[in-house]
Amino acid sequence: MDKARVGDIEIAYSLAGGGPPLVMIMGLFTNADWWEPELIEALGYVNSFLVRVLSMAQVMKRMTSR
């Protein structure tokens, strides 16, 4: 997964496919590994979405530690 820094938080993300954007966020305390790779592939390459999968676990960990 790639990472983007927002303030002092790193957000892991991945991209798949092409076309209109589809953002997928897995729960607040889980990471993007919970998404089945077959689902990402089907949405990104079969259904022609630009799938953006975000991993919010680090964001929530940082927010709850303040």
Q: What is the pTM for the complete model shown?
A: 0.66
Find out whether 58 and 11 touch, Cβ atoms under 8 Å: yes
Q: What is the pLDDT of residues 20-59, one digit of tens each?
A: 999 888 766 677 778 888 998 899 888 889 998 887 766 6
Q: Is 55 exposed, middle or buried (0-12, 13-18, 19+ CB in 10 A)?
A: buried
> Which residues partner with 58 through β-bridges?
none
d(CA 41, CA 17) in angstroms, rounded, equals: 8
